[in-house]
């Protein structure tokens, strides 16, 4: 099988490529990535010549067409994904998430190539902190930011191309990922690298906003399960029952770092901060037989902390740039 992975030098995409090389070595992998600030070719460097990396934009129709024509499957991770950045300038999110997905869809339609589209639970909006409900495949879309609204648009485009043109596609919406190779502007790696540097952890507001965390390897094993067993045209929600509020996450990070659980400080909450995300992955588990490896959040987090300790050469340059940017803007922390 020849697969094209869009956004394969970003956090989840790069981990997907590593997972694929480890568990599906017979698969030939080509990565298409624009190598923007949030992606890094060095994340794929350990794989050497085992993969092909093409630097380019998914809105480049000619390039996308050529790469899709040589593929049996497209796994579409490429996206602008940072909520805070979408509030400052939504335009890159429209270009990449909407126009880019349209470009991919037209190429797979022309060449009859299977597509798996990767999306987020943020398209469903948020839930009340005291609401026992969780998102399911039938939850109405209710995005609350330029980022989540453009991801919702991309999902709807895929569904429309399936129904209108017979495109062979599956979709997945996943909860918050953590693990190796995540940019240090994101919540968990920023707290980990701050702790390594002896800086205090930081929380938005009271820290009670809840996210449903999943280790990136579990996300990617689920994606392959959907590719192998999923029904065409169907959406599957990926989650590992990892609900934690931000305060609990920070305390778990501090424990993993061997630091006091109260060694954090509060910072001003961001506008429109979603209260709670929670995934019901029953369909994926019962229909396709998937289960997470990292069912224990603390264990997955310990492994992640160990990875950042052991791979400072990967994150140190972006850490310095990121902290300088936030200091200049007077910002203290970012988180999905």
| Catalytic one of 33, 80, 84, 122 | 122
Nearest of 28, 241, 230, 18 to residue 118 by alpha carbon: 230
Can 84 be counted among the known catalytic residues? no
Catalytic hit among 147, 178, 181, 277: 147
- Tell me, yes or no, if 147 is annotated catalytic: yes
The DSSP string of 151-214 is HHHHHHHHHHHHHHH---EEEEEE-EEESTT--TTSHHHHHHHHHHTTPPEEEETTS--EEEEE
Catalytic member of 33, 121, 212, 243: 121
Residue 303 DSSP one-character state: H
Q: Which has the closest alpha carbon to 21: 51, 55, 53, 54? A: 51
d(CA 68, CA 3): 9
Cα-to-chain-centroid distance, residue 301: 16
Q: Which H, E and C letters describe 6-54, residue by residue?
A: ECCCCHHHHHHHHHHHHHCCCCEEEEEECCCCCCCHHHCHHHHHHEEEE
Looking at the chain, how many residues does it have?
Answer: 336
Examine the residue annotation and report whether 141 is marked as an active-site residue of this protein. no
Angstrom distance (rounded) from CA 30 to CA 51:
6
What are the counts of helices (DSSP H) followed by strands (DSSP E) for the chain?
12, 12
Torsion of CA 324, 57, 173, 23, to 10 degrees: -100
Residues tagged active-site: 121-122, 147
């Amino acid at each position: 099988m020849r697969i094209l992975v869009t956004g394969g030098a970003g956090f989840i995409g790069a981990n997907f490529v590593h997972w694929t090389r480890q568990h599906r070595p017979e698969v030939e992998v080509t990565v298409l990535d624009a190598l923007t600030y949030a992606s890094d070719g060095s994340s794929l460097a350990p794989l050497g010549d085992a993969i092909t990396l093409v630097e380019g934009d998914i809105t480049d129709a000619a390039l996308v067409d050529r790469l899709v024509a040589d593929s049996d499957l497209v796994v579409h991770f490429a996206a602008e994904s940072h909520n805070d950045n979408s509030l400052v300038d939504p335009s890159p999110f429209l270009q990449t998430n909407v126009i880019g997905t349209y470009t991919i869809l037209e190429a797979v339609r022309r060449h009859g190539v299977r597509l798996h589209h990767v999306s987020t639970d943020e398209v469903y909006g948020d839930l009340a902190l005291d609401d026992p409900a969780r998102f399911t495949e039938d939850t109405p879309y209710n995005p609350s930011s330029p980022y989540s609204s453009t991801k919702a648009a991309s999902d709807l485009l895929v569904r429309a191309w399936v129904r209108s043109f017979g495109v062979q596609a599956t979709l997945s919406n996943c909860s918050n990922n953590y693990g190796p190779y995540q940019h240090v502007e994101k919540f968990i790696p920023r707290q980990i690298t701050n702790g390594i540097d002896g800086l205090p952890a930081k929380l938005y507001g009271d820290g009670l906003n809840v996210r449903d965390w999943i280790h990136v390897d579990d996300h990617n094993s689920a994606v392959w399960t959907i590719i192998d067993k999923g029904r065409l045209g169907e959406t599957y929600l990926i989650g590992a029952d990892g609900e934690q509020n931000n305060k609990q996450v920070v305390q778990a990070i501090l424990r993993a770092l061997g630091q006091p659980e109260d060694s954090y400080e509060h910072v001003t909450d961001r506008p429109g901060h979603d209260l709670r995300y929670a995934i019901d992955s029953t369909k994926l588990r019962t229909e396709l037989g998937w289960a997470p490896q990292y069912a224990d959040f603390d264990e997955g987090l310990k492994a992640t902390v160990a990875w950042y300790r052991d791979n400072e050469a990967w994150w140190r340059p972006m850490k310095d740039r990121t902290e300088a940017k936030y200091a200049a803007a007077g910002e203290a922390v970012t988180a999905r």
